[in-house]
Amino acid sequence: MTHFLIARLLRGVITVLVAVTATFLILRVMPGDPTTMMLDNRVPEEIRQQLLKDFGLDKDLFTQYLIFLKQLFLGFDLGTSFVQRVPVMDVILSRLPWTLVLMSVSMLITALIGIPLGVIAAYRKGSFLDQAINALSILGIALFIPWLGIILLYFLGLKIPWFPIGGAVTVGLEGWDYIWDATKHLVLPVVSLTIVHLASYVLYMRASTIDVLNEEYIRTARAKGLKERVVLWRHAVRNSLLSTVTMMGLQLGAIVGGAILTETVFAYPGLGRLIYEAVKEHDYPILQGTFLILAVTVVVVNILTDIVYSYLDPKITNS
Amino acid sequence: MKPMNRKNVMLSLLLSASMLAACSSQPTSNGNQSAASPSGTSTPAATTSQPAPASGQPAVGGTLVVGTLSGPDTLNPLVSNTTPGSWVVNNLYPHLMQMDPSGKKVPYLAESVTTSEDGLTITIKLRDGVTWQDGQPITSEDVAFTGQLLHDKKLQWTAEIFDQVAKVETPDKLTVVYTLKGPYPAFSGAIGYWVRIVPKHIWEKVDDPKAFENAEPVGAGPFKLVKYEKGQYIELAAIDKWFSAPGGRPYLDKVIFKIYPDANTMTLALQKGEVDVTSSDLPTSAAKLLATNPSIKVEQTASLGFAYYSFNTDGSKGVSPTQDVNFRQAMATATDRSTILNVALEGAGMQIDTPISPLFADWINPDAKAPAYDTAKAKEILTSAGYSDTDGDGILNAPGSFGGKNVEPEVIYDGANVFHQKVAKILEKNAADIGVKLVLKPVEYNTLVAKVFNERDFQMHIGKWGVLDEPSETFSNLYHSKAKNNMATYTNTEMDRLADGAKYAKSEQIARDDVKAAQALFVKEFPVVPIYVQKFNLAYNADKFGGFTLFPGDLQGLVDPNSLVGVYKK
């Protein structure tokens, strides 16, 4: 088990390094530079050059990269935002909690709905129920988040005013009022993320449960006279969950992509929107910081997935 | 899987468009026209102030929520350079001058600004009794210090204005005297309108004003900062005493700028009453939808800049028809500007002939007109200039002196700008009608800036200027052979003479004469073709709030400090 963990961690560190380097390079290859948005076009060229120098962008790529790595690994410093003039860590920490709440709640709800639906569809394979579940969840994949978001806001925010229109919390609330208000703001973004991501859970779970149900040991379990409920939810689901758990880990990247659109349409102050804004402003330190956090998160989640996996199926650790 | 996805996106866009259309066909009580009615055609900045309630003074109290598409770039008043930044920071830091609703610059923190007869001495008298938010009085020292800091540290483009200053004196606490190296009529207007004054006793202690976050601003204005939640909102609270407030202080208690990155979401929030006024320009479709809502009032304010398409006239990178004045005249004549205005802008704009916006009526040369749309005449110009389809492929060939090849210039523009997309399509057709093939090349905004502004590597491009507030400087800034923003690399000694003449004129009258002469020259040469002045759509909830004043341009709009001080809750 220890050997397995060390190998996984090492691979994780390399992945993060590659991701960080790629981000660093892509940003600098992107056309334009941060002065475009920061300076008025009446600014004389010398002022622009001075600003590039202040940001260290006048040095060659390799020197910039060495400085960046040194700052990151020796000082644990993500730098200062070009535009906002605030340490990147502060900016990220002010946005991260919102994204974490949004992501974890929507992933949890999606799993809680998607997994049972997938199992039921698999068990009733070919039935009307199965087809209905399939059709509805595929419809979800097909929806474009900004469109879905506006529809939800229009009907459940404006026409039937149950939920607020955008934002994370109403200004000036405290205590329980704050929590209740923040929860109300969370509902529609979570609903739209859930609708869009539900299908992959349902379809994965359905496919792997169908496979598992054809396995010999299920027949054995049935032959032993176990109740159908026990066969399905104890024996079959435990095994079919394996591939779904892997999928959940791998999907994290896609979910972040969805978060950019969701946070924009719902005016939600998370990391997705921070990325969107920073790309427009060419705020390299912010982008380097957020992508580092994302890379670390994806790697950590995948390691955790592997650990859960090895718990669900002890054979994994040995291979 | 990929083409399938794209189809889905298209389908959902279509569906959402039909949803918006369905919404806008709701019963109307105040008519569909109000959004489209050109409230600002003749008087570009109509005031929308409503009479105060019958009881006299409006009551104090209430929180106004302003919807904005993005947050301020920074709260540092000396470097902030975005429109959303101005909306917030202008309420926290004062300018010496402010633009009034008619587009004229008038003293604001200054009580008076006078220029000597020879144009060399500018005397600024400050209002007495105005204090910073920490209680210290605002003095001439602060004004002189701010200019010096901007200039020495080169914090923003305004640093350059102070290059013209020979010396600054502060004879008393409320008087600043600038002596200029030469006459420069735009000086007082430019520093007055653009430079935010900062308190010396605070900023002299700042190590690096360029990198200063200014998280706890000590400014002077009708409002002060309470809280800035990044990515969410900026909360401002009223100050007890402000000289420009009709009630002695703002009627409102609080103003909250709330960030909605999606204009559709902001529109829904406005309809529901979660947002009371918008500072960002709304898409025309949203404005039309809102005009059907009896609680919402939609206002239009003309931009202080204009949109154009430009030719590259620089011959140093090889010959091209864009260097030929005949080709440029033909294109200007073939451009159907009224279709552009009615279709691409859905009517939300004004015609413009020269770089001087119709807003500045005193500066307009009535004889300098852009040619009327006339395809036949445009063809004639090209034929007599030697353009003909020598190889029979349906596209004109340039005369030998301009390369002799097919006339098919590439037009680059910002692919994310919906207006410019539509303009490009109309231009493509206009050009095709006279045998010219435009190769449309939409690019991402940063690429456009790099190609056009930094490298000047283009044949034609579509662009726009945001704020051109000093007509005496417009030609010098945009079409002087040495101007940084002369991306067309237009070189004409007569134009240089007129541009310099206007910029450094001894009197405004001389500046005006030179600007008018420059306009006459411009319509013979067309280094760029101005196509329209956009009108921005702003909206507010008239059931809940009154007392707004509409200022020119989206930089001020409805959320200028001089508008917000008069806003009251109904």
Query: What is the per-residue DSSP string for B45-58?
Result: S-----PPPTTSSP
A60 within a domain of the structure (yes/no): no
B117 and B141 co-located in one domain: yes
- Residues B144 and B248 both lie in one domain: no
Containing domain of residue B387, as a range? Answer: 304-534
CA dist., res. B563 & res. B295, Å (int)? 20
Give pLDDT tens digits for B107-126: 999 999 999 999 999 999 99
Q: Check: CB of residue A212 under 8 Å from CB of residue A218.
A: yes
- For A266, the closest of B157, B265, B484 (CB atoms) is B265
Q: Which of A1 and B368 is assigned the larger pLDDT? A: B368
Q: How far apart are CA B440 and CA B460, in angstroms?
A: 10
B272–A158 CB contact, under 8 Å: yes
- Number of domains comprising chain A: 1
Task: Please indicate, yes or no, if residue B209 is contained in any of the structural domains.
Answer: no
List, for residues B130-180, the tens digit of each pLDDT value. Answer: 999 999 999 999 999 999 999 999 888 888 899 999 999 999 999 999 999
Q: What is the CATH number of the domain that holds B463?
A: 3.10.105.10
**ipTM attached to this prediction:** 0.88
Any domain includes A160: yes
Is residue A200 included in any domain, yes or no? yes
Are residues B369 and B318 both part of a single domain? Answer: yes
pLDDT at residue B318 tops 90 = no
A311 within a domain of the structure (yes/no): yes
Tell whether B18 lies on the interface with A, counting CB pairs under 8 A: no
C-alpha–C-alpha distance, residues B518 and B405, integer Å: 33
Q: Name the A residues in 62-81 with CB < 8 Å from any B CB.
A: 80
Q: Do B264 and A265 touch (CB under 8 A)?
A: yes
Contact A42 B484 (CB under 8 A): yes
Q: Which of A124, A141, A188 is nearest to A161 (CA)?
A: A188
Residue A91: list chain B partners with CB under 8 A.
230
Q: Hey, which residues 269-328 in chain B have their CB within 8 Å of chain A?
A: 269, 271-272, 274
B1 domain residue, yes or no? no
Identify whether A47 is part of a domain.
no
Please name the residue ranges forming H helices in chain A. Answer: 2-29, 35-38, 45-54, 61-75, 88-123, 128-142, 145-153, 175-213, 216-223, 228-230, 237-250, 252-265, 271-281, 284-312, 315-318
- Which pLDDT score, from 0 to 100, does residue A182 have? 94
Contact (Cβ atoms closer than 8 angstroms) between residue A248 and residue A298: no
pLDDT at position A318, please?
52
> pLDDT exceeding 70 applies to what percent of chain B?
90
Least Cα distance to B375 among B434, B429, B438 occurs for B434
Mean local confidence (pLDDT), B386-415: 93
CB B518 within 8 A of CB B498: yes
The Cα–Cα gap between B538 and A50 comes to 37
- Cα dist. A101→A181, A190, A271 in Å? 14, 10, 11
Residue B50 lies in a domain: no
pLDDT value of residue A251: 74
The enclosing domain of B195 has a CATH number of 3.90.76.10
Answer whether A164 touches B (CB < 8 Å).
yes
Check if the beta carbon of residue B237 is closer than 8 Å to that of residue B223.
yes
Cross-chain Cβ contact A171/B233 below 8 Å: yes
Q: Say if the Cβ atoms of A37 and B450 lie within 8 Å.
A: no
The mean pLDDT value for B279-287 works out to: 91
pLDDT at site A317 = 58
- pLDDT for position A277: 87
Decide which of B37 and B139 is more confident.
B139
pLDDT in 10s for each residue of chain A, 319 residues:
678 788 888 998 999 999 999 999 999 888 778 887 788 777 888 888 888 898 889 999 999 999 999 988 888 888 899 988 889 999 999 998 999 899 889 989 999 999 999 999 998 888 999 999 989 888 888 888 889 999 999 999 999 999 999 899 998 888 899 999 999 999 999 999 999 888 888 988 999 899 888 888 888 888 888 888 888 888 888 888 877 777 777 777 777 777 888 999 999 999 989 998 898 888 999 999 999 988 888 888 888 877 777 777 766 655 4
Q: Does the CB of A173 have a partner CB in chain B at under 8 Å? A: no
Q: Please indicate, yes or no, whether residues B106 and B71 belong to a single structural domain of this protein.
A: no
Number of domains composing chain B: 3
CA distance B288 to B367: 36
Would residue B513 count as lying in a domain?
yes
B99 in the same domain as B87: no
Give yes or no: residues B382 and B502 share one domain. Answer: yes
CATH of the domain at B553: 3.40.190.10
Residues B207-238 have pLDDT tens digits of 999 889 999 999 999 999 999 998 899 999 99
For B16, the closest of A46, A150, A158 (CB atoms) is: A150
**Tokens linked to A98:** 């919102």
Does a structural domain hold residue A52? no
Residue B325 has pLDDT above 50, yes or no: yes
Q: What is the CATH number of the domain that holds A100?
A: 1.10.3720.10
- Interface probe for B, chosen from A30, A91, A160, A165 (most Cβ of B below 10 Å), is A165
Average pLDDT score over residue span B394-408: 92
Residue A277 and residue B70: Cβ atoms within 8 Å?
Answer: yes
Does residue B266 share a domain with residue B132?
Answer: no
Q: What pLDDT is stored for residue A77 in this prediction?
A: 87
Give residue A213's domain range.
2-30+78-318
Indicate the pLDDT class of residue B12, thresholds 50, 70 and 90.
Answer: very low
Contact (CB<8Å) B235/A171: yes
Structural domain contains residue B562: yes
- Give the helix ranges, DSSP H, for B309-411: 325-334, 337-339, 375-384
Mean pLDDT of B459-479: 93
Q: What is the mean pLDDT of residues B282-309?
A: 93
Task: Answer whether A21 touches B (CB < 8 Å).
Answer: no
State whether B180 and B158 are in the same domain. Answer: yes
Burial B136-163 (b: 16+ CB within 10 A, else e): ebbbbbbbbbbbebbbebbbbbbbbbbe
pLDDT at site B9: 37
Domain co-membership, B330 together with B354: yes
Q: Answer yes or no: are the C-beta atoms of B165 and B179 closer than 8 Å.
A: yes
Same domain, B363 and B510: yes
Q: Is B551 exposed, middle or buried (0-12, 13-18, 19+ CB in 10 A)?
A: buried
A73 domain residue, yes or no: no
Q: Sorting pLDDT into bands at 50, 70 and 90, what band is B26?
A: very low
A151 has a chain B CB within 8 A of its CB: yes
Q: How many CB pairs under 8 A join A and B?
A: 157
Look up residue B268 and give its two tokens. 């829904």
Q: What angle do helix axes A145-153 and A175-213 make, rounded to 10 degrees?
A: 130
CA-nearest of B446, B456, B509, B515 to B487 is B456
Assess whether pLDDT exceeds 80 at residue B354. Answer: yes
The beta-carbon neighbor of B268 closest among A37, A95, A158 is A158
Residue B432 domain-assigned (yes or no): yes
Q: Are residue B109 and residue B168 in the same domain, yes or no?
A: yes
Given a contact cutoff of 8 angstroms between Cβ atoms, the answer to whether B303 and B533 are in contact is yes
Instruction: Please state, in angstroms and rounded to a whole number, the distance separating the CA atoms of residues B231 and A92.
Output: 11
**Are B244 and B389 in a shared domain?**
no
Contacts of A85 in chain B (CB under 8 A): 74, 76, 211-213
